[in-house]
Structure formats: C-alpha cells, structure tokens
Amino acid sequence: MTIGVLGGGQLGRMLGLAGLPLGFSFVFLDPAEDAPAAIAGEVIRAPWDDAEALATLAAKCDVITWEFENVPEAAARRLAEARPVFPPPESLAVSQDRLLEKQHFARLGIPTPPFAAVATEAEVQAALGTIGLPALLKTRRMGYDGRGQRVLRDAADAGPAVAALGGVPLLLERFVPFERELSVVAARGRDGETAAWPVIENHHGGGILRLSLAPAPRLAEERRTRAEGWARMLLESFGYVGVLALELFETAEGLLANEMAPRVHNSGHWTIEGARTSQFENHVRAVAGLPLGDTAPCGVSAMVNLIGTLPPAGALQGVPGLHLHVYGKSPRPGRKLGHATLCAGSLAEILRLLDRLPPIAGLPHPAHG
C-alpha cells in the first residue's frame, strides 16, 4: 500500500520512518526544496493548489493523509474525490480557524478561556468588557508557535495590536495565568477504536515547544481522565481517523483547552522510543485501516527540541538512554532541526539525565526536583 502525505517536513519524515518497516511506501507533496521526508519516499515538489500535482499524488497512492495543518482544506477535499483521505478534511478546516476551533470545543462542552470574535479596535474595546484584562489578541487563521498574537495589558494596547495584526479576522481571549501547559495525543482507527498516550507536560520558550515530559508529573487522576476524555470526544466528533493532539492549560481551577492539531504532534515525539507504539506508527496504522498499537509508556520520557542550531556531533550521545533525531534541515534561528528523547525508569532519573545534557539553546529547567 502506498500512503500519500501532504507535507514533507520532519513529521512526514517520521511517519515514513515508522511506516517503511510495516511494508508501506510513501509519496509526499511539498512546495519546499529539500523536504526532510525525502529519505522516506518520493517527493512531488509543487504548490498545494497545483491541480496536476494533486492528481499525480492521488494516482500514485491508495490513501492520503497530511502532516502539515495549514494545507488548504480545498486540496484535501479535492484529493478526497479520488482517494480516501484521513483524517476527515473538516478537522483541518476547524483547526485552521481559532474561532471555529473554540466554538467546536464549546459545542462539545470542553472549557476554554473566554473568547470573542473581533476585527476592529472598537470591537476589541467592546469585547474587553466581558473578556477582561490582560487579554490576548490572536489572528483567527495561520497562527502557530505563538505567531500572530499580541498581549493586551491595557485597553490602550488594543489599537496598536489591531494595527500590528493587520486587518484580518481576530480572536480576543482572556489571558490565562496557567500553572503549566499539557497536551494529549490520541488516535482513532478506521473501525472507531480509540487510544490515548499519557498526558504530556510541555515547556515553551519564545512561543516554541522546547521540552516535553511524559507522563506529565503529578497530574491528578481526575484531570488525566478528563483530558483523555476530551481528546476522545474530539476524535468522535469528527469521525476522525489518525492521530490528533489537544493542547491544554492547567490552572488552579482545572483544565482549559487551548487548541487542537489534526496531525501527529511535536509533543508526541517521545512516543518513538518512550511508548509501546509511537504516534507515527499509530497514525500510519489508522489511515491504513490496521488495528491501533498499544499506547502504554515504557517508563518516563523527556523530549528536547533542538532549535536553530544542533549541538556538536557526538555531544549528546554520551548521555545514557538518549535517542537523537536529526531532520536534515539547514540551520536557521527558530527552526526545529531535530530532537532528542531521554527514556528512564523514573522522573528523578530523567531529571538527572537532563542535567547531564550539554548546553541546548532555550532549554528550560523543569521545576520537579
């Protein structure tokens, strides 16, 4: 079976690396030069809306998926006329618009920070009355890794923030003083079976994920069950097939949903070595119509993103239990170039191993001593 993938970045590369041993072949479509996924299959280099390239992809593949959430929904729908496309394109449309996404959460009864759709400074001023300060103003579309958002500490910040985000539909959200960020990564098979990996604790810097710990330390059982339940509700709501991630804030009062990603997720990279079945293998299994594999963790894992520059060759491999993944991308500030996963028997051991890492740009020190 040949699996077509919209997007040929590192997520495509890791999907391919998980699917090749299972006997699958891959064809990727990506507009970029030097797609990291090229080591795992053929790459069709073309823009997302290139009808001929989409037709070629459909002709070469039995089933199609994506690894990049800003793929135009129209491209996924066009492919769906020719071949089965998983996950359902509707999940792409919802996740690409922060308003539709929050409304979808609200319909399912999944709590979020209070939000309001706005476009002009006057609308922001009016909405601040119910949302309160501080608040975050975000573009509804094309925002990720903290891009396309401004903090409003004062009503006077509204004008400059609207001007900076530039004439596009916006979402105003209450700024949540969260204790930590969490995510749940879960999968649903074609037969409706679902599975979730343990809830993950995430540390960001400059709007980019830097470190994930799994299972999330000291998470109350009731919150863990709730987070997993929300991920399953989302999967069911779309009749989803494949892997999905839900990002959460943990506050003193409980959990709030921030956003979802209808794809394999950076906070789930630790599952390659740290779980019985990785998110990449289960995504491949799901779209291919195979039973899902066991998502149980093998001990405790930490995943460290390597951003902007890579440590010198060999600098990381001296740390016991470390697995290095390099994506084959040229260095650039803020670019995800690779990741390292540490696996151990306990959180204490993971924290000791993290202390043994050479200096890694932007790596926070998790306060779990």
Residues that bind ligand AMP (CB under 6 A): 113, 136, 143-144, 146, 173, 175-176, 181, 204, 207, 258-259
Closest distance of CB 107 from ligand AMP, Å? 19
Amino acid 139 reads T
Closest distance of CB 88 from ligand AMP, Å? 22
5, containing H or E segment? strand 2-6
Helix pair 10-19, 279-288: axis angle to 10 deg: 70
Helices (H), the chain: 10-19, 51-60, 73-80, 89-95, 98-108, 121-131, 158-165, 221-238, 271-274, 279-288, 347-355
Closest distance of CB 243 from ligand AMP, Å? 18
Going 344 to 200 to 213 to 20, the CA torsion angle's sign is positive
Residue 285 or 339: which CB sits closer to ligand AMP?
Answer: 339
Structure-token pair, residue 317:
């491999």
Residue 16 or 113: which CB sits closer to ligand AMP?
Answer: 113
Structure-token pair, residue 39:
């080591």
Query: Nearest to ligand AMP by Cβ — which residue?
Result: 176
Residue 54 or 219: which CB sits closer to ligand AMP?
Answer: 219
Q: Are 343 and 298 in contact (CB under 8 A)?
A: yes
CA distance 10 to 261: 16
Residue 67 or 69: which CB sits closer to ligand AMP?
Answer: 69
CA proximity to 301, closest of 254, 335, 267: 267
CA proximity to 300, closest of 258, 266, 341: 341
Q: Are 127 and 116 in contact (CB under 8 A)?
A: yes
CA distance 34 to 13: 12
Residue 47 or 146: which CB sits closer to ligand AMP?
Answer: 146
Closest distance of CB 178 from ligand AMP, Å? 6
Order of all β-strands in the sheet with 42-45:
42-45, 25-30, 2-6, 63-66
Residue 10 or 258: which CB sits closer to ligand AMP?
Answer: 258
Residue 67 or 259: which CB sits closer to ligand AMP?
Answer: 259
Going 173 to 234 to 205 to 203, the CA torsion angle's sign is positive
Residue 137 or 347: which CB sits closer to ligand AMP?
Answer: 137
Closest distance of CB 256 from ligand AMP, Å? 8
Closest distance of CB 266 from ligand AMP, Å? 11
Closest distance of CB 166 from ligand AMP, Å? 17
Closest distance of CB 31 from ligand AMP, Å? 23
